[in-house]
Structure 1
Amino acid sequence: MVAIGGVIVLFVTLVILGGFFLYKSLPSDNDSAAVPENAGTTADPQGQDVETGVLYVRVVGESSDVVVRVPGGDVLADTTLKTDEHLSFDEEQPLNVTIGKPGEVEVYVHGERRDIADEDPGYSFSVEP
């Protein structure tokens, strides 16, 4: 009888732990959790010496979805950035970039500003290293 009780306690413990780890693996409603470590906020790049790297995307409007991936490979960022948040990448490989609201962002490729404000929502482009 004690063995059956032990098995039941073990089963309940495993179910609780499984549920906990499943919950922790789900995407959170907090978009900042999806921002990579090399992302952050900053002041206006023209006013300071900001390292723009190969790709630099900064939200100057309200918000925009930004997806950065290696062609045929890893997704490096898939997040919604809000005012003054930015992403910066110094990848040694090509990147595919999709901007949800092009009019809301400033984009710098190899330190040069790329004007995408008049592009349609969901605008995509490639960046070579």
Structure 2
Amino acid sequence: MVAIGGVIVLFVTLVILGGFFLYKSLPSGNDDAAVPESAGTTADPRSEAVETGVLYIRVTGDSSDVVVRVPGGDVLADTTLKTDEYLSFEDSQPMDVTIQDPGEVEVYVHGERRDVSGEEAGYNFSVQP
């Protein structure tokens, strides 16, 4: 009788421990928890080491609508970018760019920063290859 009680206690203990460790192994929903502390970091877009390509647009403020298209042709991007989101194009083709909130973004054309912060809403410019 005592042996059967011991087996039952052992079984219940193993089930509880198994459930606990299974729960701990599930993703927590926090993306930072899935990255080991020793993982490398990503490049800071404000540093000079960032590959900006032909056109690089990054939102530094809250958000901005950005439209990039081939003149008289295809729309390459028509999106609302939020803080720290960016668009980058490597294509060697002409592009027309419209930025709804120029004060919210930083723009690089052929690797050189273009200050558009003082421009009015809906600012347009062209990029040549």
Distance in 2 (CA, whole Å) between partners of 1:98 and 1:118 is 15
Identity score, percent: 75
Q: TM-score, normalised by structure 2?
A: 0.65
**TM-score under structure 1 length normalisation:** 0.65
Q: Show the counterpart of 1:122.
A: 122
Q: What are the ranges of 5 or more consecutive residues in structure 2 without an aligned counterpart?
A: 1-41
Q: Supply the distance in 2 between the matched residues of 1:69 and 1:56 (Cα, whole angstroms).
A: 14
The amino acid of 1:84's aligned partner reads: D
2:122 maps to a residue whose letter is: G
2:57 matched to which residue of 1?
Answer: 57
Partner residue, 1:73: 73
SS in structure 2 at match of 1:118: coil
Deviation at 1:91, TM superposition (A): 1.2
Structure 1 residue runs of 4+, over 2 Å off?
A: 42-48
1:47 CA drift (Å): 2.6
**Which structure has the bigger radius of gyration?**
2
| Residues 93 and 128, structure 1, Cα contact 8 Å, conserved in 2 | yes
Q: Distance in 1 between matches of 2:43 and 2:51?
A: 12
Aligned residue pairs total 88
